[in-house]
Chains A and B, each alone.
Chain A
């Protein structure tokens, strides 16, 4: 599940720190620096070089664009989802995905009228399983920017406009199928994206704070402090994480509200997540500490704080960004697994793991595959995109290294 630690972070030749060229007069002591011979390559700042390098990585770019779309969906989930995630319809339990028809056949000929068709069902007397048959007469026109259930954008602006949906808000539209309560899977996956993606982000931020502080201390001071922190990291990593997470999430009080559980889970996920980041930071600190420009700064009588933040930090921010990007998918997968086991988030909160929990047994996969496929696809594609982007960032993190 976690893979970040197994792909060794490239340890490239440490370079001169990289303040944008025009703001770094005092650090121009060593290294290649800028040779003004006309070419933009030589005057480009490090961030610009990184961007050029990143752009060359096609998969990473594709991942980045995909992720931007995903986060757009996260921010405007209410707008993108045609329905509220808990709106249910008893007549459409486990209804299969509807086909979207663009043209309507009428007596006067064919005309353009995007619509979905309703279902009617027959119930098996013994198994109670429903067979849905498309009802050619029930035609529900759909369109873009239609009025649907009311919501508050950012909790401020009250509106009822949705990107797309049925023109009659009460009409059934299940383009990706319905779950066992007749809830729209598309809307639920969209809301689930918000929870799952933000859990990854919040968890990583917590892990980052812990990792940078402890890894930085460990790497900068070395000696016994370093070995103490290293022992702690080794200890944390020697415990199989899933049992640990299971035990910790099981320990969250049942009386907690969903919001509290949400934050509880992010804290639990970052308890292990920080070790990876701390290792990256420590490694960078170790290699940078011996650099000439750091020695020069020390000899100049620069304070420790300034050396760390002004001279060393810029050299490894890019590496940290890459490591963070690669840590997010691990968090997302962990949340999904925990919620799937029933230890993480619970209904009515909707996350990818909660959605996948519905598809726990063979009958549900065999008869209603969309319950598994839709959230499963969301998880896989997003984690894939994050991995691609993280890979690209890691390659680009050190633009001087060829």
Chain B
């Protein structure tokens, strides 16, 4: 087991390198950069200050240097001192901008995952046990609708519903009075009050497919001989289902985290732009529009890294849960 984890960690290094390279490459793609735009705006006002700032910035980041030099400088600063560079637009270090937002993004992604599981677990079990019942068709249909509806559309509709029928202040994750308050019990409660819309919206993306995986797996298990044996021995039906087939059918939940997590993070980005949540989404969009390269690049890098860690955790969890998985070989395919 330890060997497996160590190997997986080692394998992450080249992936991490590729992700960082890709994020840096992507943010270098747009023609022109923030500085040239910035300079055009500044020079009209006070040219001297502008030139000094520009030269300082240019030197600091080596913007006049070739790609690999710039990349090296960026990455080595991140690795050695956690310095993600400076946001041009906000005129603040990137690291001071991203952490709060990343934390909230990950919190949302995790809560959505748990919610997705909870919903998919219940509905998946129900639809498998009552195969071809009205409820089965109903939930299958709901699942399909969930798959077909763009996240942002659902967010818009729910936002409107909550505004129209619950009179709740919409958008954001906090009520105005808690916006910049320090963390406290009531602030957390306030957060959860606001979180249900994004969580529901994000979860529909993952739940629909997870329900179907759960249903298919449980259907396979339900007709195994061991189920018949247990039933023949007079075991109570629900106890039996919960104790054996469901437990086996749960594996895909863990093993698909690796796929659901990027989807959830993606969903979170769009939903938070629509709902204007203080998470990564709106700031990432803004930074991409204004070519605030270090901010955008750091966001993409960190989102990639966090997803990678999440996937790793789920793989370890799976290897631990299901002894049938040979983790010695698991990485080779």
Residues on A facing B (Cβ under 8 Å): 1-3, 5-8, 227, 230-231, 234-235, 237-244, 246-248, 250-251, 253, 329, 333, 336-337, 340-341, 343, 356, 359-360, 362, 365-366, 372, 376, 379-381, 383-384, 387-388
Contacts and interface: CB of A to CB of B under 8 A. Distances in A.
Nearest to A356: B153
Given A1-B266, A6-B210, A248-B29, A243 B152 contact: no
A362 B300 contact: no
B313 interface: no
12 contacts: A1-B263, A1-B267, A7-B212, A237-B259, A239-B304, A243-B299, A244-B26, A246-B269, A250-B291, A333-B150, A356-B150, A379-B148
Nearest to B304: A239
Contacts of A250: 30, 288-289, 291, 296
A246 B148 contact: no
Given A340-B152, A379-B153, A384 B145 contact: yes
Given A235-B18, A239-B19, A244 B300 contact: yes
Contact of B266 (A7, A243, A376): A243
A329 B144 CA distance: 12
B108 to A, nearest CB: 13
Contacts of A359: 156
A5 B288 contact: no
A22 B148 CA distance: 41
A12 to B, nearest CB: 14
Given A7-B209, A235-B18, A362-B170, A337 B270 contact: yes
A227 B329 CA distance: 13
A383 B157 CA distance: 18
Contacts of B213: 6-8
Interface in B139-195: 144-145, 147-153, 156-157, 159-160, 163-164, 170
A242 B267 CA distance: 8
Contact of B147 (A3, A242, A246, A366): A3
B266 to A, nearest CB: 4
Interface of B: 14-15, 18-19, 22-23, 26-27, 29-31, 144-145, 147-153, 156-157, 159-160, 163-164, 170, 205-206, 208-210, 212-213, 216, 256, 259-260, 262-263, 265-267, 269-270, 273-274, 280, 284-285, 288-289, 291, 296, 299-300, 303-304, 307-308, 311, 332-333
Contact of A366 (B164, B209, B266): B164
Contacts of B285: 246, 341, 343
A365 B148 contact: no
A237 B144 CA distance: 23
A388 B143 CA distance: 12
Given A379-B153, A384-B144, A246 B288 contact: yes
B164 A383 contact: no
B259 A238 contact: no
Contacts of A240: 262-263, 265-266, 269, 303-304, 307
Contacts of B205: 1
A247 B300 contact: yes
B205, B263, B311 pick with most chain A CB within 10 angstroms? B263
Contacts of B147: 3, 329, 383-384, 387
* Complex A-B, nearest 5 residue pairs according to Cβ-Cβ distance, in ascending order: A242-B266, A251-B29, A6-B209, A383-B148, A250-B288
Contacts of B333: 230
B300 A243 contact: yes
Given A238-B262, A250-B288, A341 B273 contact: yes
A10 B153 CA distance: 31
Contacts of B210: 6
Contacts of B156: 359-360, 365, 372
Nearest to A383: B148
Given A239-B307, A250-B289, A341 B270 contact: yes
Contacts of B31: 253
B296 A227 contact: no
Given A239-B262, A379-B148, 13 more contacts: A1-B263, A3-B208, A6-B209, A8-B216, A238-B262, A241-B263, A242-B265, A242-B267, A243-B299, A243-B300, A341-B285, A360-B274, A365-B157
A251 B293 CA distance: 11
A366 B229 CA distance: 58
Contact of A6 (B27, B150, B256): B256
A234 B15 contact: yes
A380 B30 CA distance: 33
Nearest to B212: A7
B266 A241 contact: yes
Contact of B269 (A237, A243, A388): A243
Contacts of A242: 265-267, 269-270
A336 B152 CA distance: 10
Nearest to B308: A238
A337 B300 contact: no
Nearest to B284: A243
A365 B160 contact: yes
Given A240-B304, A246-B288, A379 B150 contact: yes
Contacts of B160: 362, 365-366
Contacts of B152: 337, 340, 356
Nearest to A375: B153
Nearest to A239: B304
A145 B258 CA distance: 54
Nearest to A357: B152
B144 A388 contact: yes
A329 B148 contact: yes
A241 B18 CA distance: 15
B263 to A, nearest CB: 6
Contacts of A387: 144, 147-148
Given A240-B262, A253-B31, A365-B156, A247 B296 contact: yes
Given A247-B296, A387-B147, A6 B259 contact: yes
